[in-house]
Amino acid sequence: MASEKERLAFVAASSVVALHTVTDAFLAPEPGTRWADHLVAAGITLALLTVAVLLWPRVPAGARGVVALALGALALEGAGLAVAAARGAPVRGDGWTGFLLAPFGLLLCVLGARILWRSRKPGRRRHLRRTLLVLASAVGAYWVLVPTGVALMATHRPREAVEQVDLGRGSHDVAVETSDGLVLRGRYVPSRNGAAVIVFPASAGRAPQARALARHGYGVLMLDMRGYADSDGDPNMFGWDAAKDVDAGIAFLNDRADVRGGRVGGLGFSVGGEVMLETAARNVALRAVVADGAGERSVRESALRGPSGWPSLPAYAVQTIAVAALSGDIPPPSLVDLLPRIAPRPVLLIGAGRDNGGEDLQQRYYAAARAPKSFWKIPEAGHTQGFAARPHEYERRLVAFLDAALIPPG
């Protein structure tokens, strides 16, 4: 049986986590969002906390210790995210409750460790039993705790300071509105050749590619993804709902006089490449797409690895479920199902030889795509670092691909 002091400590810490959840979801939501947008995510979190509090006195000591340690680790992560967010923006209501997670997260970790230590059982097989428990704990952390922590980071990523990206000639700030009412910020260079390219997501690190396109006469729209920089919305590092962002960029470009005949292409990096492929599969107004560093967004892509990926599959499944629960979004279709729908519009996949972004799946994506399609792997490049590795060849290949797709002959 749990002692009354242990129960009160767990209830107090869980109440602080619940307070932060309510503040984050309903009292201080992200710009452009409403409290109703977070009903599912907050409801699931609050329901799990309630179940944990109610069952706490009734479960074995080992289970109580594990739950306290897991919740404590996630609370400390939440506190770390609040501190990181405070460095780049004024502290909001959820920032203050986030700071409060730190002492109570530490309390939960101490409580969990204490319960587990006191619940040790004597006996001749105690060493074997404890070894097995350590192994089970390691597997549980790998399959459950770490993926949940990744999901928490993915859906609560602190906003970074807004970067002023230099795109060269005549660039200016723009704002576009998505179909779900969010305002996204970006920067645009007008077109000189009648065609334009969306570079997504925007960052200073992608400015060299954008300037290369501008030098060749392309209009360039660098667009911040929802929940990032000054754009409205909740963040999602996997870009599950960001195809609407690219749709908004396409509509913006097609309304401009300098973009003629709907000649709009897309250049996406990492998650932006995945979003660009999804958008092209659904929106025929995107005439050509370049995906640099497209990897995996959910367990639907992770399962493509077959038997070699089975040991990690439970972790990816938990991560996908956790992202869905914390964001309220449904995982998007697998890229292998989306790529065939892009044809007859052309696709160029760019991959890195020194992969660290799930790019081992790109051969599967290329095989799934229909012609016209191209795949260029840069052996010495890191994830999305192809331009830095081979700037002249990258620019030549990129411009040649877009010219063939968007510039009429003659």
User: What domains can you pick out in the chain, each with its CATH number?
Assistant: 4-120 (no CATH), 172-297+332-406 (3.40.50.1820)
126: buried, middle or exposed (CB in 10 Å: 19+, 13-18, 0-12)?
exposed
Q: Decide if pLDDT at 132 tops 70.
A: yes
Residue 2's pLDDT is 65
Residue 356's pLDDT is 63
Q: Using alpha carbons, select from 50, 44, 241 the residue that is nearest to residue 152.
A: 44
Choice among 93-102, 126-135, 260-269 with the minimum mean pLDDT? 126-135
- Residues 309-349 pLDDT 10s: 899 999 999 999 999 999 999 999 999 999 999 999 999 99
Structure-token pair, residue 356: 């660290």
Choice among 30-34, 44-48, 118-122, 223-227 with the minimum mean pLDDT? 118-122
Residue 119's pLDDT is 76
E strand or H helix at 185: strand 183-189
E strand or H helix at 264: strand 264-269
Structure-token pair, residue 44: 């699931």
User: How far is Cα of residue 79 from the mean position of the Cα atoms in its chain?
Assistant: 19
Structure-token pair, residue 259: 């973009």
What's the rounded Cα separation, in Å, for the pair 69 and 30?
29
Q: Using alpha carbons, select from 36, 17, 133, 30 the residue that is nearest to residue 77.
A: 17
Tell me the pTM: 0.93
